[in-house]
Amino acid sequence: MDLKQIEYIVKIAETGNITRAAEQLFVTQSALNQQLLKLENALGIKLFYRRKHDLTPTDAGKVYLKYGRQMLIEKREAYNIINDLAQDNLGHLSFTFSRERGLDMFVATYPAFHRQFPGIIVEPHEMRVHNQQLQIAQGYVDLGLVTLSEQQKLADLQYDHIRIWTYQQSRSCPLCSSTRNRPCEASSTGSSGQLRSVPMSFLNQAASAPC
């Protein structure tokens, strides 16, 4: 079904008149009438009853209009979703974090991320660092949050040193080996589009927390 043709038929049904429909579609009356006749000939059945000044849908026309309107709705929804994706307002982010500290990091940072990007669906996975790197290298996940040494890095991945959040003074820093109540430095810059473009984020345990 041609979407432009569907728009023509829906407008004819709404106005009940070729002339008025043509005016609202900004096409000539003869061109619109030709489109209707062409479609009816292709289908082998009339879509409208013709009266002196009005057109009303036949049973076949009602079926065509029902499904044609649904297709137009789906077209608008698809365009809206694509527009949101282009604006970085909607999407899917598959995210991995390491065991133990990773869960605390995710729980602490996700609420702020969700407030800024409510349309981004985050799919978290907890796994060991080595498995994280393999999953990212193979394209199964988009982003990883890890603590690892230089020797553990894989050559074909990009690593960024990041600082995640500020903990309240009443809680111990999850990035430090000690339990002193000294918070990490906060950083929340970067768009969701930038996040998705980074295969892995790198947390160096010794340097990330100035504790």
Q: Higher confidence at residue 3 or residue 169?
A: 3
pLDDT digits (tens, 9 = 90+) for 123-178: 888 888 888 888 887 777 888 887 777 888 887 788 887 654 444 433 433 333 33
Q: How confident is the model at residue 67 (pLDDT cuts 50, 70, 90)?
A: very high
pLDDT computed for residue 99 by the predictor: 73
Q: Which of 5-19, 143-157, 175-189, 193-207 has the highest mean pLDDT?
A: 5-19
What is the 3-state secondary structure of the chain?
CCHHHHHHHHHHHHHCCHHHHHHHHCCCHHHHHHHHHHHHHHHCCCCEEECCCCEEECHHHHHHHHHHHHHHHHHHHHHHHHHHHHCCCCEEEEEEECCCHHHHHHHHHHHHHHHHCCCEEEEEEECCHHHHHHHHHCCCCCEEEEECCHHHCCCCCCEEECCCCCCCCCCCCCCCCCCCCCCCCCCCCCCHHHHHHCCEEEECHHHHCCC
pLDDT computed for residue 29 by the predictor: 94
Q: How confident is the model at residue 88 (pLDDT cuts 50, 70, 90)?
A: low
- Whole-prediction pTM: 0.45
pLDDT computed for residue 2 by the predictor: 85
pLDDT computed for residue 123 by the predictor: 84
**pLDDT above 70 covers what percent of the chain?**
73
